[in-house]
Chains A and B, each alone.
Chain A
Amino acid sequence: MEHRSHIYGVMGEFGTPEQLIQAAKKTREAGYRRVDAYAPFPVEGLSEALHLHRSWVPFITLLGGLTGGLGGFGLQYWAAAITYPQNIGGRPLNSWPAFIPVTFELTILGAALSAVLGMLALNRLPQPHHPVFNVPRFTHASTDRFFICIQARDKKFHLADTARFLQGLEAHHISEVFDD
């Protein structure tokens, strides 16, 4: 256990999205669970290959939209009918059709804000530093290279064996990822 404290994981580099998906599938098949893949653009099929569960973003967005919509209508109802009622020619105070535009806009606002903030929170961003940035070649992850990182906290992780396993997947470069 001692040596794992400063090793975050082992990283392998791949040249194409197809190789990355193949490698991700084989990594799962080999029993590794604490795995992440890195790509310069969203690769179709990668989420499935890594068995990622459904994103929570849509649910968070729904909650945000409901909050915005109900809050928006409630705000107008409260302002126009309860706290600041104005009798204009005996017209109803709760003139709900006139409240639709603002309710709609606030629904969208609530949903959009929670989609973005939810996405950032689920991704644990902002997070200025992460162990994978310690790998010098990782700068290519935002250009044209694809990486798989098997983390040291995986039950099956063994530095030499895991590195050999990645080599078997025909990764170009294998690097140890240090935890600072």
Chain B
Amino acid sequence: MSAGQPPLDSPEIRRLTPVLAPGYTYASVTDKISAIVLTRPTSLGWFIGFGIAFSLTGLLTIAIGWLIIKGVGIWGINIPIGWGFAIVNFVWWIGIGHAGTLISAILFLLNQKWRTSINRFAEAMTLFAVACAGIFPLIHTGRPWMAFYMFPYPSTMGLWPQFRSPLIWDVFAVSTYGTVSLLFWFVGLIPDLATLRDRAKTKAKQIIYGMLAMGWRGSAHHWHNYQAAYLLLAGLATPLVLSVHTVVSFDFAIAIVPGWHTTIFPPYFVAGAIYSGFAMVLTIAIPLRKAYGLEDFITMRHLDNMAKVMLATGLIVAYGYFFEFFMSLYSGNKFDVFLVQQRLHGPYSPFYYALILCNILTPQLLWFYKMRHNVVVLFLMAIVVNIGMWLERFVIVVISLTRDFVPSAWGRYSPTFWDWATFIGTIGMFVTLIFLFVRVLPAISIAEMRELVAETSEEEK
């Protein structure tokens, strides 16, 4: 299958695909990463990319503005399809965020060294994806200025949220997830902000990075508490990330709608989230390493490992699809059986087949060493998986809602211009934030790279 591949973990393959290219010192990793932020001139490509993304963000603000003026009627949602794009996009974005936490927390607990050069921007990706995700349920309420009703606060009306509702669980899960991701990311940034403070040449940069670094001086006492806090955050973020998509799946699974009311949803949603998240990390990592010449830090080893995680989680997702299918047929419940038929032969069946093609069939190419080591193929594959995971949520939301128990309650759904504008707008916002992030903050953790230099130099001795 993987012809021509040397045995795994042989010295040869380690030399060919190290986690960090040889020959780096503490100073040279610091120089190389901090230069992207501090000294390198902003390239024309950055301005073009940022300009396009920022225009799309403008489209988002117009779409939301129009929504607030006119109401949710500008979307394609109707009765019975009350959820539509808003929930499809919400689940898609929140799932994408999961890979960042997986890389930063779970791989940290598992002591995986290859996590080091990708965790920072993966965490940033998490934050931005959660920000995009949060927009959708908020504006889907129709009156976003009333969203604070969902938080428990002593109101003069004596009103409290319904804590038995999955939608309230969602509020707590997503806001906790956003907060903890921000904390984790910021704590990781503190030592690097101190590095930028010390290396900045202009007064303004020194002051801004200095304020953000909060006076970090790398003292042994600081590191002592810092490491304890970082480890604990990783330990806390791990069950958190699993819970977030579980709670998101409860939005569906707690309901009695055919195709939603199933116990396999939590694990299969979590696997799907990690799957789509790794696809998005690859979508960002491949152009990033190319644009900033970071091939020595984000090596083929990283891309290869990420491709393997994608393959593995993709197989779990495939297992989920299979058992969803099997259990519907095996249960003999006529509504569930009917739903399966609708997926295969109903009006939205092309989406279902496209989903199978994107999420199950295409990624099987990742079994091949040559495919995993072809950057272009990998990039395209990541895009395909991103699309596939979006289709998955579309299929779940739309097919079940258009075909529930009684034919008189059936309907059709098609998105409008404003649905697309909002969705594409959030992609624009996400890319805008990524562009700003790589320009003003170190996209790779400098302190952890120095640690990696220390560890790899020890290994060589």
Instruction: Establish whether residues B226 and A139, one from each chain, have CB atoms under 8 Å apart when the complex forms.
Output: no
Tell me, yes or no, whether B210 is within 8 Å of chain A by CB: yes
Q: Which chain B positions have C-beta within 8 A of A123?
A: 219, 221-222, 225-226
A residues sitting closer than 8 Å to B (CB atoms) are 17, 24, 36-43, 46-47, 50, 52, 55-58, 61, 65, 75-76, 79-80, 83-84, 86, 95, 98-99, 101-102, 104-106, 108-109, 111-113, 115-116, 118-120, 122-123, 125-130, 132-133, 138-144
**Assembly CA distance A109 to B173 (angstroms):** 10
Q: Which chain A positions have C-beta within 8 A of B183?
A: 112-113, 116
Instruction: Establish whether residues B27 and A52, one from each chain, have CB atoms under 8 Å apart when the complex forms.
Output: no
Instruction: Establish whether residues B232 and A115, one from each chain, have CB atoms under 8 Å apart when the complex forms.
Output: yes
Instruction: Establish whether residues A17 and B454, one from each chain, have CB atoms under 8 Å apart when the complex forms.
Output: yes
Question: How far apart are A126's CB and chain B's nearest CB, in angstroms?
Answer: 4
Considering residues A38, A113, A115, which has the most beta carbons from chain B within 10 angstroms of its beta carbon?
A115
Q: How many A-B residue pairs have CB under 8 A?
A: 189
Tell me, yes or no, whether B70 is within 8 Å of chain A by CB: no
Measured as residues with beta carbon below 8 angstroms from the partner, the interface class of chain B is 35 or more
Cβ-closest chain A residue relative to B243: A104
Instruction: Establish whether residues A112 and B198, one from each chain, have CB atoms under 8 Å apart when the complex forms.
Output: no
Question: How far apart are A143's CB and chain B's nearest CB, in angstroms?
Answer: 5
Contacting chain A: which of B45-53, B154-162, B292-300?
Answer: B154-162
Tell me, yes or no, whether B16 is within 8 Å of chain A by CB: no
**Assembly CA distance A138 to B215 (angstroms):** 13
Please report whether the interface of chain A is mostly helix, strand, loop or mixed according to DSSP: helix
**Assembly CA distance A57 to B88 (angstroms):** 40
Instruction: Establish whether residues B219 and A38, one from each chain, have CB atoms under 8 Å apart when the complex forms.
Output: yes
Instruction: Establish whether residues B233 and A57, one from each chain, have CB atoms under 8 Å apart when the complex forms.
Output: no
Query: Contacts A113-B183, A115-B236 known; A105 to B173 CB distance under 8 Å?
Result: yes
Query: Contacts A38-B218, A105-B176 known; A142 to B198 CB distance under 8 Å?
Result: yes
Cβ-closest chain A residue relative to B452: A41
Tell me, yes or no, whether B319 is within 8 Å of chain A by CB: no
Query: Contacts A47-B224, A111-B236 known; A98 to B176 CB distance under 8 Å?
Result: no
Please report whether the interface of chain B is mostly helix, strand, loop or mixed according to DSSP: helix
Cβ-closest chain A residue relative to B455: A44
Instruction: Establish whether residues B225 and A122, one from each chain, have CB atoms under 8 Å apart when the complex forms.
Output: yes
Question: How far apart are B460's CB and chain A's nearest CB, in angstroms?
Answer: 14
Closest 6 A/B residue pairs (Cβ)? A126-B214, A144-B26, A119-B229, A79-B160, A57-B228, A98-B164
Q: Which chain A positions have C-beta within 8 A of B233?
A: 112, 115-116
Q: Which chain B positions have C-beta within 8 A of A109?
A: 176, 179-180
Instruction: Establish whether residues B236 and A112, one from each chain, have CB atoms under 8 Å apart when the complex forms.
Output: yes
**Assembly CA distance A55 to B227 (angstroms):** 9
Instruction: Establish whether residues B179 and A113, one from each chain, have CB atoms under 8 Å apart when the complex forms.
Output: yes
Query: Contacts A57-B225, A119-B229, A123-B226 known; A38 to B158 CB distance under 8 Å?
Result: no
**What are 7 A-B residue pairs whose CB atoms fall within 8 Å in the complex?**
A43-B220, A80-B160, A111-B236, A113-B179, A128-B211, A143-B26, A144-B450
B158, B210, B218, B228: the one contacting A141 at CB < 8 Å is: B218
Query: Contacts A80-B160, A115-B233 known; A41 to B451 CB distance under 8 Å?
Result: yes
Contacting chain A: which of B187-195, B308-316, B422-430?
Answer: B187-195
List 17 additional contacts besides A47-B220, A109-B180; criterion CB under 8 Å: A36-B219, A38-B217, A41-B448, A41-B454, A42-B223, A47-B224, A55-B227, A80-B163, A84-B158, A98-B164, A101-B166, A101-B169, A105-B172, A112-B237, A123-B222, A125-B215, A128-B215
